[in-house]
Amino acid sequence: MKIRSELFIGGEWVAGTATLPVQDPALGETITEVAVAGERECAQAVDAAAAALGPWAARAPRERAEILRRAYELMTDEADEIARLIVRENGKVFADAKSEVVYAAEFFRWFAEEAVRIKGDYRLAPGGDKRIIVTHQPIGVSLLITPWNFPAAMATRKIGPALAAGCSVVLKPATETPLTALAIADVLARAGVPGGVVNVVVAAPTAQRVREMLHDPRVTNLSFTGSTEVGRVLLHEAADQVVRTLMELGGNAPFLVLADADVRAAVAGAMVAKLRNGGAACTAANRFYVHGSVADEFTAEFARAMAALKVGSGLDPANQIGSLVSTTERGKVADLVDQAVGAGARPVTGGTILDGPGAFYPPTVLAGIAPDADILDVEIFGPVAPIVVFDSDDEAVARANATPYGLISYVYTGDFRRGLQIAERLDSGMVALNRGVLSDPAAPFGGFKQSGLGREGGFDGIHEFLETKYIAADI
Ligand code: NAD
């Protein structure tokens, strides 16, 4: 697979105003220089999207579906190559990258199936004076902004529904991981997406370029995945033109192990929930609340499993934990652990930066965490698991909910009914019950509180790219 490093605008690969190095965080080496879009190129991308919108929206839904289906097939066929590219620019291990590509491709398949099922409504008004007709139409040119942690899946989770709905898009990927987004643009072009329907710009300086695009009146929709901090800034920016926004923001997931849980299953679930993507996931279990009666057993087993993992280059299949995306990100993780240890936490395994090059951090389990410890208030975004002991279900739920975030919660219990009752009381958009992973393109993904607005995937996802129109008819 040829690594694409130009901008993708109007169906053409074009140069930018400058270039930026893309780093391999495991080796600390530059993979390539990627083209950077300035004001002119970003405006050209919006021009191209605006010009492509009408013809794309007018295509039969079945035709849009078939193009998306071809993109799913191509991405599936080329999964290994795309996964290797993700490993190189992101640092995660190949197995994680491969499952990301499979998951990412599924958004094209799911939304290919949804493209032909956009429903309307036709009925007699209650007063009998008119017909109420409700229909949906594409919202228009959509600006998509994605983070570095899932460079393929976060892009397809937006592009899939946008294209299914009949929208055109400008995708601005994270500066750390632009190559995967460009590879996906290449897949889409080969699948038959017409020029201008999908445009990809690595824009810099980011805040300024995004602000300009959001103030272009032709951009009517913003779909953002990233931190709550940046999401908040973009909500302010979007307010000026009253641009519709979808926000998939940060998380601080609690992982509850109740007294009656199968501890072995809970440890297996904790490993997945904590370590998917090396802990750099918005869904990553961040705070482990374990009942006192099982806390020692859970902590010992979890620490044993974490300590057994091999850390190293994501391209070596012997390794289970890869590199963080940069030494800056690793520094943030290390600082959190050092502060927690300074405040009395006890590292049962891990806890110190590994020697040698690359942004590696060892799997770490921290016991003796006070319920009000600072480390419980922030997204850790690395392979670090702080454990807090609790006494009652009410206490566990209260602690789990004591955060401004509300993306996902995990619950382990031997009693399904008790688990469901707790799931209903947790303030999060998603709850994994006796499971360490839940993401599925067929299910609505999104958060409560400061974890976001709106839902991606499932039956809701396409509606983020549709306007609702009511026609009153005198017939
Ligand atoms: P980030 O917020 O720093 O960046 C996300 C994107 O926004 C990138 O493309 C970045 O270039 C861009 N950006 C940064 N500053 C900007 C500004 N001022 N104006 C416009 N664009 C700007 O996030 P990140 O570090 O790339 O990703 C990690 C964060 O993403 C975590 O908080 C994680 O929880 C969150 N995340 C959420 C989900 C979800 O679905 N809820 C999924 C993945 C990641």
Q: Does pLDDT of 475 surpass 90?
A: no
- Specify the number of domains making up the chain: 2
Check whether residue 358 and residue 236 sit in a common domain: no
Tokens of 445: 């993904």
Residue 337: inside a domain: yes
Residue 287: inside a domain: yes
Check whether residue 174 and residue 269 sit in a common domain: no
* pLDDT band (50, 70, 90) for residue 346: very high
Strands 466-473 and 198-200: unpaired
DSSP states along 74-103: HHHHTHHHHHHHHHHHH---HHHHHHHHHH
Q: Does pLDDT of 357 surpass 90?
A: no
In this prediction, residue 142 carries a pLDDT of 99
Helices (H), strands (E): how many in the chain? Answer: 13, 22
CA distance 83 to 102: 9
> In angstroms, what is the span from residue 475 Cα to ligand 1's centroid?
50
The whole-number average pLDDT for the span 164-178 is 98
How much is the ipTM here?
0.97
The answer to whether 139 and 220 have CB atoms below 8 angstroms apart is yes
Check whether residue 264 and residue 237 sit in a common domain: no
The answer to whether 409 and 426 have CB atoms below 8 angstroms apart is yes
Alpha helix ranges (H) inside 166-311: 178-191, 206-214, 228-240, 263-275, 292-307
* Residue among 36, 171, 282 whose CB has most ligand 1 atoms within 8 A, to mutate: 282
**Cα angle vertex 296, ends 293, 300, to 5°?**
145
The whole-number average pLDDT for the span 275-298 is 97
Report the candidate in 161, 173, 157, 167 with the shortest Cα–Cα distance to residue 210. Answer: 173
The whole-number average pLDDT for the span 334-350 is 97
The answer to whether 326 and 25 have CB atoms below 8 angstroms apart is yes
Q: Is the CB of 155 under 6 A from ligand 1?
A: no
The answer to whether 261 and 293 have CB atoms below 8 angstroms apart is no
Running DSSP on this structure, what letter comes out for residue 456?
B
* Residue among 144, 206, 328 whose CB has most ligand 1 atoms within 8 A, to mutate: 206
In this prediction, residue 86 carries a pLDDT of 98
Q: Is the CB of 378 under 6 A from ligand 1?
A: no
Residue 71: inside a domain: yes
| Total residue length of the chain | 475
Report, in this order, helix, strand and coil percent for the chain, each rounded to 5: 40, 25, 35
Check whether residue 111 and residue 22 sit in a common domain: yes
> In angstroms, what is the span from residue 290 Cα to ligand 1's centroid?
30
Q: Is 29 helix (H, G, I), strand (E, B) or coil?
A: strand
Check whether residue 226 and residue 307 sit in a common domain: no
In this prediction, residue 298 carries a pLDDT of 98
In this prediction, residue 297 carries a pLDDT of 98
Check whether residue 169 and residue 273 sit in a common domain: no
CA distance 197 to 164: 11
Q: Is the CB of 139 under 6 A from ligand 1?
A: no
The whole-number average pLDDT for the span 172-189 is 98
Residue 273: inside a domain: yes
Q: Is the CB of 227 under 6 A from ligand 1?
A: yes
Tokens of 38: 């300035």
> In angstroms, what is the span from residue 176 Cα to ligand 1's centroid?
11
CA distance 435 to 415: 14
> In angstroms, what is the span from residue 322 Cα to ligand 1's centroid?
21
In this prediction, residue 2 carries a pLDDT of 87
Q: Which atom of ligand 1 is nearest to the CA of 456?
A: 40
In this prediction, residue 354 carries a pLDDT of 82
Residue 446: inside a domain: no
Cβ neighbourhood burial of 69 (10 Å; 0-12, 13-18, 19+): middle
Q: Which of 9-18, 207-216, 349-358, 418-427 has the lowest mean pLDDT?
A: 349-358
CA distance 151 to 281: 12
The answer to whether 470 and 133 have CB atoms below 8 angstroms apart is yes
Check whether residue 242 and residue 311 sit in a common domain: no
CA distance 399 to 108: 38
In this prediction, residue 353 carries a pLDDT of 92
In this prediction, residue 356 carries a pLDDT of 83
CA distance 475 to 470: 15
pLDDT, one tens digit per residue, over 382-437 is 999 999 999 999 999 999 999 999 999 999 999 999 999 999 999 999 999 999 99
Q: Is the CB of 254 under 6 A from ligand 1?
A: no
Q: Is the CB of 238 under 6 A from ligand 1?
A: no
Q: What CATH number has the domain bearing residue 78? A: 3.40.605.10
Check whether residue 270 and residue 183 sit in a common domain: no
In this prediction, residue 1 carries a pLDDT of 80
Check whether residue 233 and residue 280 sit in a common domain: no
Domain of residue 399 covers: 253-440
> In angstroms, what is the span from residue 383 Cα to ligand 1's centroid?
19
Q: Is the CB of 452 under 6 A from ligand 1?
A: yes
> In angstroms, what is the span from residue 357 Cα to ligand 1's centroid?
26
Cβ neighbourhood burial of 474 (10 Å; 0-12, 13-18, 19+): exposed
Check whether residue 393 and residue 461 sit in a common domain: no
Question: Which sequence positions are flagged as catalytic?
Answer: 248
Residue 1: inside a domain: no
Q: Does pLDDT of 96 surpass 90?
A: yes
pLDDT, one tens digit per residue, over 80-93 is 999 999 999 999 99
Residue 2: inside a domain: no
pLDDT, one tens digit per residue, over 125-135 is 999 999 999 99
Q: Which atom of ligand 1 is nearest to the CA of 148?
A: 26
